[in-house]
Amino acid sequence: MRKSLGRLLQALGYATNGFASAEAFLQSGIADSAIGLVLDVHLPGMSGIELRRHLLAVGSNLPVVFMTAFDDEATRAEALAVGCVDYLQKPFETSRLTDALQRRKES
């Protein structure tokens, strides 16, 4: 999913970097230069929601589009509570993602 999503975003004109975990993203050092995140809720180790909380705690307000294959009301509420541009359930239509990315640009 990460690779295909990266190819899709590149085809849409976005520069992308894919990471296997939240920890790998944080260790990369690009958090300060990123313009947004498409972030899976369920990551190995630190979850996507925990990553979002960590970024907020250190003063980063990167726009986030959450996605998940395991949707439930509690997870959705938690993702919305930490703030996101959109919350997508996999599989999702490409148009849902492009609409979310457009809203990210407008905010």
**65, HSE (Cβ side, Cα atoms, 13 Å):** 22
First to last CA, the chain: 27
Label residue 105 by pLDDT band (50, 70, 90).
Answer: low
Pick from 103, 83, 106, 84: nearest CA to 95: 103
Set out the domains of the chain in order of their start, with CATH numbers.
2-106 (3.40.50.2300)
Q: Is the peptide bond before 63 cis (omega within 30 degrees of 0)?
A: no
Label residue 106 by pLDDT band (50, 70, 90).
Answer: low
pLDDT digits (tens, 9 = 90+) for 27-67: 999 998 998 999 999 999 999 999 999 999 999 989 999 99
Residue 19: per-residue pLDDT? 96
Q: Is the pLDDT of residue 69 over 80?
A: yes
